[in-house]
Structure 1
Amino acid sequence: MTIGLDRSYWNLPRGVPRVYRRLGFLPLPQTDIALTAAASNLTPDEAHHALHALSTAGLLEDVADHPVRGRIWQLHDEVRVHARAQAAREDTSGTAEETLHRSLDWYQSGATAAEQLLTPAHRTVDRPLAYPPAQSLTFTERAEALAWLDGQQAQLMAAIRAGHAAGLYTSVWRLVWALWPLWHYGQVYSLWLEAHELALDAAQRDGAPLAQREILNTLGVGLRSAGRHDAAIGVFSRVRDMALMAADTAGQARVAHHGVGRRREAAELLQQARQQRVELGDSRGQALTDIVLGEIALDDSRPDEAIARFTTARALLLEEEDPHNAGRALAWLGRAHAHRGDFQIALDHGRTSIEELTRAGSRRWVGRSVEMLGQSAHESGHAQGARELFEQAMAAYEGFSSSDVERLRTRLRAVP
């Protein structure tokens, strides 16, 4: 087999052997034009030419077309070993690390473009690239950015794991930080938590205290969303202490908003956070805090206060052009009206929130808003409609949130 691979390798057109050697060091055996161009420092046209030549020579398998990544090629295991062996003979010792670093920078450039469009209010810092790609990604539509994140998910996780194993710690925490839209909208908790554990270790090894606080904060959000409230509270307490030590007022306000595993116990802290955000001029943060305070008011059977908070939050979020959280506020507003017995208003708000969250591309919150509408329908006496909505919500949760699926099963058993 090696003899055949050697023969094919030595007959490759000029410049293509270098691309072949680099492909052996990619995080996954599959590649595409954009990734190959970034990893090999080529233009997309040059990368396409090289991939076609390698496929013609039998060194790559032309697999299929991908709706996001375009044409996909694959190196089989023995070919990857051969490519790396050739690199060991012909390239400098830093080829493997540079190839991986270029791949991580390519993914960070795409993640940053998605982050800027999908979550423009997300806290960030300057994250310069060591190897800026020759052709950076840009997104003009939310659906396009969300599709890219979803379509690259396996590649992104492989790059994060490989980067951490190779000691490229700065690249790892920067990529995980930039991928907030993937965690926020995709909500695949197993990947969310794994990526953040690796990024936290990377930030600690890199001596980046702000990155540690931010990664810990979004790790806590993931733990809380996955239902691991005690672990989330421990993480948020740690972030709060770190933010206090660093005199990071914005960080203190944010962690107060997120650290609500036991929400009634956090009410006073949330009120302080809301005031901090008002003083900072952070309208979006104020609105997000009002949503949580509205949830607490509902838990305490104070629907009028909840309606006021959700109404204020929605108005601010619409002004801030945050469709995801504006849709969340409307879903909660519907539930608050149901608590007060205003079922027609509740049902109208619930239907509108589903439409808005569907357009925003939030998988879990589409399911959550359908579930909340089902609750309102059930409470208003529409048992059949409630059952259909609960089944629809359960289908939306399938495959990425077992705790949500189990809760829906319990709700369905309660419907006559």
Structure 2
Amino acid sequence: MDKIFGAFFAGLIKFGTLDVVAANGRRFTVGDGSGKKLAVRFNDRNAQILFMIDPELRFGELFMDGRVEVIEGSLYDVVALASENLMRADPGPSPGGFGWVRLLQEARAALRRLARANDALRARRNVAHHYDLDVRVYELFLDGDMQYSCAYFESDGESLEDAQLAKKRHIAAKLVAGPGASVLDIGSGFGGLANYLARFCGASVTGLTLSKAQFEVSRRRAAALGPLAADFRMLDYREVEGRFDRVVSVGMFEHVGIANYDAYFRKIAQLLNEDGVALVHTIGRAPGPAATNPWIGKYIFPGGYIPSLSEILPAIEQSSLVVTDLEVLRLHYAETLKAWRERFLARREQAKAIYDERFCRMWELYLAGSEAAFRYEGLVVFQVQLAKRLDAVPLTRDYITRAEADLRRREAASTLSEAGE
């Protein structure tokens, strides 16, 4: 058993330095001796067996239950080392741990289209699983505006608050939404983007969410803003009727489900006026299609799926929409997750008081593993701008920069006005 366990880990970690302490106290080292020394400990023999059966699923479960512990370095260091080894491994057949991991990944990828369709009832249940947690948890690590999606870091060292404001500004600029424009925000979260579009663009914004917690927060914040706020509804996008000048969706497409892509983009086309503009901001896979990480799918985002461009674009082509702009935000989400992870760890005891130690372990692994995936496993963010007409937006991208400059002036004027009050 010990020899098999050691050989399995030796196949997993080829680069870096990781000490593994087995349940019987035996300690062995894997990797090439480079980098920071890290160490993990397995607290029972069954944990070792479960880990070897399915590392991607079982490591998270064992860590949550305290059956695996990080004893040197941080949890992020360990999962980042695993992610980096996975990406640097020989793409051909490989022995030991990664050979088995690859087989599991290929099997899951082959079966990914067999997942049940994300119908309206299942969508509500999946949303509630993650987004209807106690709101105080989100307040521990999000920025003041409660933006729970990738920020846009315009410069090194920028604060999370400034980067999240820049994200809203960047999206607003791409929407080219002037005063009075009707905007539908599909998956409006805690309401920050919808309220920004209403306040600084003068748009008439309707925000949709399936999360009861997000809906309540959004309505409360809108009431505080008064007539400049967006209107929020707890409604599935498939139930919406009418036409809009603009449609925006940030961090929601990951929950649509691969079986629903055609219907999703047809619905956007149906909702959009003939001269309208839509923007879909979604996590994506740069290397190509792959299955959802099984631990993430089970414990964090049930029903979630991260698409590649090769899966998104065919659905767009069938919808009568055209892609008028495509931007890939590469390491922006890694930096966002780093900020969230650091903030969460700084307030970990508060999270523990709200839930428990197991929840804290789960959430820390979610943030750490997601950050590592964006740094080493090819996850990015796609911002796909869509229209029905090729002339719906200006011919060059200069309009985005000009619009952002104008929005900065409006933000500054609003800040001065509030300070005067």
How high is the TM-score relative to the length of structure 2? 0.24
Larger Rg over CA atoms: 1
Whichever structure has more strand as a proportion of its residues is 2
How high is the TM-score relative to the length of structure 1? 0.25
Whichever structure has more helix as a proportion of its residues is 1
Q: Which has the higher contact order (CA 8 A, sep 6+)?
A: 2
